[in-house]
Amino acid sequence: MKGIYLDYAATTPVHPDVVLAMQPYLNIKFGNPSSMYQLGVSNRKTINESKKTIAQCLNVLQEEIYFTSGGTEATNWAIKGYAEAHPEKKEIIISQIEHHATLNTCKYLEKKGYKIHSIPVDKKGFISLKKLESAMNDNTLMVSIIWANNEIGTIQDMKAISDICHKHDVVLHTDAVQAFGQISVDLSEVNVDMLTLSAHKFYGPKGIGCLYIKKGIVIESLIHGGSQEQGKRAGTEYLSGIVGMAKAAEIASQYQQVYYEKLNYLSTRLHQRLIQNFDCIFNGPEIGGRRLPGNINISFKDIIGTQLSYWLDQNDIYVSTGSACDSTSIEPSHVIKALKVPEEYMRGTIRFSLGNEFLESDIPRVIAKLKDGLDFIQ
């Protein structure tokens, strides 16, 4: 029997149409886009067309899209680049449940003398808008809030966050890596200044992402060298990856509502069976409008999530845990800690994230294997 993959929030398989779109740029249309001969000039046009496609998906200008190696680089660039361009301000506001790309970038800047304000969240993972606004002052450099959380699926009210930031003339960056393709990310409706995307979260290739930088926002380069990406991000472009990202974004945008409804349906069915069969806590918002459609984060009582995850892996069910492991201890993730999950459940956290290949007929097998796994490790 085939394995059941339930970790789409970590990465997705590349869509077959994306593979087809990429293929010519690996071995036929391989010219360096910075070269002046026909093979290079043609590929420069291809990059511009790819930017146009992604810009249309976000409802922004083509020249506001800058390709990167992925979401982590884009987020590093947004925060560090803006900090370097505006050294007069030294305070940054984030949430307690940011991705590590944001958390560790801010920890780096903290060592450089920056003050980081971490806004708490409630038991569903939503930030306090009042505390966000009260944290702002004349020394606030920027705000960086994740649009949709990768562990618990919480979708923040980015419109309200944006309104608060711009009321105080504070620049807003958002990590939309998990959001894009699952929910509407329309920047004509939500006014953000910088936004991070990563192709492999929406059935594109790994190793390619982009940073949206609103026209007029000034940031320093993170990578220096040639004049690629309008002189702001050096390095020969990952041409096939760029083509693949654009194609994946086009498909994701076209089928976003269908995908949302499909995953919400499957999540509801799986969630019902989990709650019926196990002593567990459902982390994050209710399934529906304020939660990513394919995200189910469950904490089981009196178990170690990594042990259950390992057992499931050995039995062809692929999930992730809400824990970070090192050589000496297993600690609950910063997200689960921020939710104040009860101690007897906290270490037993498992994330199921659903996607295209998951079927309703897979649910009984998942439940049966979970029962076997819990019986084995308890």
Known catalytic residues are: 325
Give the C-alpha separation, 368 to 207, whole Å. Answer: 36
Residue found by looking up tokens 């894009």 in the block: 180
Backbone angles phi and psi of 160, in degrees to 5: -65, -40
CB atoms within 10 A of CB 62: 14
Give the C-alpha separation, 9 to 12, whole Å. Answer: 7
CB 65 within 8 A of CB 233: no
Going from the C-alpha of 169 to that of each of 130, 188, 238, the distances in angstroms are: 17, 18, 35
List the beta bridge partners of residue 204.
Answer: none
Give the C-alpha separation, 71 to 86, whole Å. Answer: 22
Nearest to 304 by CA among 360, 373, 367, 258: 373
Give the C-alpha separation, 364 to 368, whole Å. Answer: 6
- Start-end of H helices in 59-128: 71-85, 100-111
Q: Amino acid identity, residue 189? A: E
| DSSP reduced 3-state for 1 | coil
Nearest to 344 by CA among 373, 372, 296, 303: 303
**Number of H-type helices and E-type strands within the chain:** 14, 15
* DSSP category for residue 151: T
CB atoms within 10 A of CB 92: 26
Helical packing angle, 38-58 and 239-254, nearest 10° = 30
Q: Amino acid identity, residue 149? A: N
Give the C-alpha separation, 152 to 335, whole Å. Answer: 8
User: What tokens appear for 245 in the block?
Assistant: 């990202």
The tally of CA atoms less than 13 A away on the side-chain side of residue 19 is 4
